[in-house]
């Protein structure tokens, strides 16, 4: 069974700092990996999707990388803002979606 781990579970940074969130998975046979954002009491919003054949995807201040062979993905957030405060989840798509438990990010003004 696929297991997805996200470290750290919580992260607090001052505004303006660049940061990296980590996601690791145990089975490299995936179709793609997706990063989501979840605000308190809300559903999930898709941020970036990386196909298994790709190495990275970028959207604005976000950059996600994928190393399928080592079972790792990172989400890089540049110049963090208080509005980035949320929980970030990664999910890998194989025969079904498997989600990590998320990293709770707080950006301090």
Nearer to other proteins, 36 or 77 (CB): 36
Nearer to other proteins, 31 or 55 (CB): 31
Nearer to other proteins, 95 or 106 (CB): 95
- Binding-site ranges for other proteins (CB under 8 A): 4, 31-32, 34, 36, 41-46, 49, 51-52, 89, 91, 93, 96-97, 99-102
The DSSP 8-state label assigned to residue 83 in this structure reads G
Closest distance of CB 109 from other proteins, Å: 27
93 C-beta neighbours (distance < 10 Å), count: 16
Closest distance of CB 99 from other proteins, Å: 4
Closest distance of CB 105 from other proteins, Å: 16
Q: Backbone phi, then psi, for 84, in 5-degree steps?
A: -80, -10
Closest distance of CB 89 from other proteins, Å: 7
Listed in sequence order, the residues at least 6 apart from 26 whose beta carbon sits closer than 8 Å to its beta carbon are 2, 3, 4, 71
> Does residue 54 contact residue 9 with C-beta atoms inside 8 Å?
no
| Cα 43 to Cα 89: distance, rounded to the nearest angstrom | 12
């Amino acid at each position: 069974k696929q297991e997805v781990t996200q470290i750290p579970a919580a992260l607090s940074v001052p505004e303006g700092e660049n940061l990296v969130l980590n996601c690791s998975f145990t089975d490299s046979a995936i179709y793609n990996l997706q990063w989501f954002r979840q605000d308190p009491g809300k559903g999930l919003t898709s941020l970036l999707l990386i196909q298994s054949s790709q190495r990275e995807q970028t959207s604005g201040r976000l950059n996600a990388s994928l190393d399928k062979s080592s079972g790792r993905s990172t989400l890089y957030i540049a110049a963090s803002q208080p509005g980035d405060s949320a929980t970030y989840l990664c999910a890998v798509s194989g025969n079904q979606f498997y989600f990590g438990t998320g990293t709770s990010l707080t950006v301090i003004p």
